Amino acid sequence: MTLKTLLKASSAIVLLSAIAANAQATHPATGEALAEVQTFTYRVLDEHSSVDPQVVEDVTGAEVVRDLFEGLMNQDATGELVPGVATGFDVSEDGLTYTFTLRDNARWSNGDPVLASDFVYAWKRAVDPALASEYAWFMELMSIENAAAIIAGEMDKDALGVTAPDDSAFVVTLSQPLPYFAQMTTHSTTFPVHPATVEAHGDTWTRPENIVSNGAYVLREHVPQERLVRVRNEMYWDNENTIIDEVTSLVINDVNQGLTRYLAGELDRTEVPPGQFQRLSAEYPDQAISIPRLCSYYYNFNLSEGGPEALQDVRVRQAMNLAVNRDVIVNNVLGAGQTAAYNFTPVRTAGFTLPDLPIADMTQEDRNAMAVALITEAGYGIGGEPLSIELLYNTDEAHRNIAVALGQMWQQTLGIQTTLANQEWQTFLQTRGNQNFEMARGAWCGDYNEASTFLDLVTTNSGYNDAKYSNAEVDQLMAEAKTAADPQPNYTRVEQIIAEEVPIIPIYHYADGYMFNPELKGWPVDNVEQNWYSRELYKVAGE
């Protein structure tokens, strides 16, 4: 080809692609007309911890990591598994060996192919004591062979049960069958990294000038505490189906300021400030959206030896559980689409069926009557021994409002006095972790979409069992559930035990209120883990 023909050919290509771009200004699947400028700008509360897949520990960081990197499997808009770098996987009959087949067109942003050995490198990195990842426990939770021993420093990281027999086969050996193992490969800790880049730059490999990534976007700019900009990765295997060109996250600490800037058109998405959802959804019905989350809000009783004696009496705990009017809390105190919780595991958790719990079907009058009967029987409250309980929560307006509401309900119905105590986060964690409380606020969001991520918390040895609740039957049921073909009966029983013995009082299941630019489409509202990917979003042309 001479230079001239080359020039002609290339200008023809430019022309053709320009025509194609014009013609393609509709969404390939839905046919909607697309906006000319495809950018997505959203508010984040705070600076993310890291964009290193094996280091990141916060939700905002994981959102960025899901754009920059791609793991074995992805989630679709409803949270179901869809292929990522892997086109699929095979499970051995004993459930202990997973073989993932990697697509041959996956590329790093520098053009290198994504190899199975990159995953091996990343997974070993996650458990490496030298990296000291705060998410190393996740690999342990995935039951990967030898993960626990490596994290504890008893074995070399090369003993981890992962191998790459060839460039496109990634094999994982588990120490025990884990029904939801494949789901866990959508978690950022399991995403690959580019070994040569990590080795060359050490801790600074994640800076925009150094980073090499394999996701739909690459990191263009990062100004800590101000902004992070990512742009389309031309090397991404599915780049042609990506519509959003540029994604910007802006750190805006103050939620009200975020709302003002959203209304001024500076943002495509922001959180709704507490207590404003009802007003905003009336004013902007097509913009205010409530998204259910896989999280539960609850109160712990201190059941350890140092805890208040009255709370050791199950009748007192039952009475307090019954006397909480959840409807008032979700509708009047919160009002952003949260749902009343009478059990621990959120009902939207995959494969989880809500067990029949008597308390859920009663009216609040009946609950209150039963509560009064129980507390009287126990000899406390109105007419009995006076009872005063301190409610501990971390300093926050919303937590305070709930504590006030709870205090009033218990005071009115049961005659129990409450005092409020709030502490700054770190201090709160320490106080609660050392059982220096009477009742303390707790909240839990699922690490993966399966009921055990919640129910493991009430087992004796759980590090998060702040109530120090211990029940041998629960421990056994949860241990069996790990490998059971159908763990639901176990979960049902555990939920029933929680409802009977009330080590915790579930209050509500989370929902977050957001404002969304009405032109922004493709948001996975039904993905309860809110694992969203910018490459699935698009903006339609305004009328």
Partner 1 sequence: MFNFVLKRLAIAVPTILILIVLSFMLMFAAPGGPFNSERPLPPQVLANLEARYGLDQPYWKQMYDYVVNMVTRFDFGPSFQYRDRTVTDVIMQGFPVTLTYGFWSFVVAVIVGVSLGVVAAIKHNTWLDYLAVGISVGAQVLPNFVMAPILVLVFTLWLGWLPGGGWQGGQWQYLILPVIALSTSYMASIARITRSSMLEVLNAGFIRTARAKGLPTWRIILGHALKPAMLPVLSYLGPAFVLMITGSVVIDVYFSTGGIGQFFVNSAFSRDYAVIMGITILVGVLTIVFNLLVDVLYAWIDPKIRY
Question: What residues does 178 pair with on adjacent strands?
Answer: none
- Look up residue 252 and give its amino acid: I
Contacts of 267 (CB under 8 A, 6+ apart): 41, 42, 43, 250, 258, 261, 517
Q: Judged by CB, which is closer to partner 1: 240, or 424?
A: 424
Residue for token pair 């009047």: 332
Stretch that binds partner 1, among 166-174, 205-213, 298-306, 494-502 (CB under 8 A): 205-213
Stretch that binds partner 1, among 64-72, 146-154, 287-295, 484-492 (CB under 8 A): 146-154
Q: Judged by CB, which is closer to partner 1: 250, or 537?
A: 250
Q: Judged by CB, which is closer to partner 1: 60, or 168?
A: 60
CB atoms within 10 A of CB 482: 16
Q: Is 134 one of the binding residues for partner 1 (CB under 8 A)?
A: yes
- The CA dihedral of 364, 366, 369, 375, to the nearest 10 degrees, is -80
Q: What is the DSSP letter of 357?
A: -
How many whole angstroms separate alpha carbon 148 and alpha carbon 175? 10
Q: Judged by CB, which is closer to partner 1: 207, or 279?
A: 207
Q: Is 220 one of the binding residues for partner 1 (CB under 8 A)?
A: no
Residue pair 399/422 in contact by the 8 Å Cβ criterion: yes
Helix (H) or strand (E) holding 200: helix 195-201
Q: Judged by CB, which is closer to partner 1: 25, or 200?
A: 200
Stretch that binds partner 1, among 219-227, 357-365, 492-500, 516-524 (CB under 8 A): 219-227
Q: Is 49 one of the binding residues for partner 1 (CB under 8 A)?
A: yes
Residue pair 216/70 in contact by the 8 Å Cβ criterion: yes
CA distance to 71, 77, 352, 500, 506, per residue, from 489 (Å): 32, 28, 10, 17, 20
Enumerate residues 253-292 that contact partner 1 by CB under 8 A: 253-254, 256-257, 260-261, 263-264, 266
Q: Judged by CB, which is closer to partner 1: 199, or 366?
A: 199
Q: Judged by CB, which is closer to partner 1: 25, or 443?
A: 443
Q: Is 40 one of the binding residues for partner 1 (CB under 8 A)?
A: no
Minimum distance from residue 261 beta carbon to partner 1 (Å)? 4
Minimum distance from residue 334 beta carbon to partner 1 (Å)? 21
How many whole angstroms separate alpha carbon 492 and alpha carbon 438? 28
Stretch that binds partner 1, among 27-35, 246-254, 316-324, 334-342 (CB under 8 A): 246-254
How many whole angstroms separate alpha carbon 271 and alpha carbon 538? 20
Q: Residue from 240, 463, 485, 543 that binds partner 1 (CB under 8 A)?
A: 463
Stretch that binds partner 1, among 248-256, 361-369, 399-407, 513-521 (CB under 8 A): 248-256
Q: Judged by CB, which is closer to partner 1: 227, or 400?
A: 227
DSSP 28-55: TTT-PBBPS--EEEEEESS--S-S-TTT
Stretch that binds partner 1, among 45-53, 96-104, 231-239, 515-523 (CB under 8 A): 45-53
CA distance to 7, 9, 421, per residue, from 3 (Å): 6, 10, 78
Minimum distance from residue 159 beta carbon to partner 1 (Å)? 15
Counting Cα atoms < 13 Å in the Cβ hemisphere of 149 gives 12
Q: What is the DSSP letter of 232?
A: E
Q: Residue from 42, 50, 145, 531 that binds partner 1 (CB under 8 A)?
A: 50
Q: Judged by CB, which is closer to partner 1: 1, or 132?
A: 132
Minimum distance from residue 131 beta carbon to partner 1 (Å)? 8
How many whole angstroms separate alpha carbon 370 and alpha carbon 525? 38
Q: Residue from 140, 271, 450, 529 that binds partner 1 (CB under 8 A)?
A: 140
Question: What residues does 81 pair with on adjacent strands?
Answer: 75
Length of the chain as a residue count: 543
CA distance to 285, 321, 337, per residue, from 331 (Å): 18, 18, 8
**Mutual orientation of helices 472-481 and 488-501 as an angle, nearest 10°?**
160
Q: Is 460 one of the binding residues for partner 1 (CB under 8 A)?
A: no
Minimum distance from residue 54 beta carbon to partner 1 (Å)? 10
Q: Residue from 65, 116, 198, 252 that binds partner 1 (CB under 8 A)?
A: 252
Q: Judged by CB, which is closer to partner 1: 2, or 426?
A: 426
Interface residues with partner 1 (CB under 8 A) are: 46-47, 49-50, 52, 55, 57, 129-130, 132-134, 136-137, 140, 151-153, 203-207, 223-227, 250-254, 256-257, 260-261, 263-264, 266, 424-427, 429-431, 433, 463-464
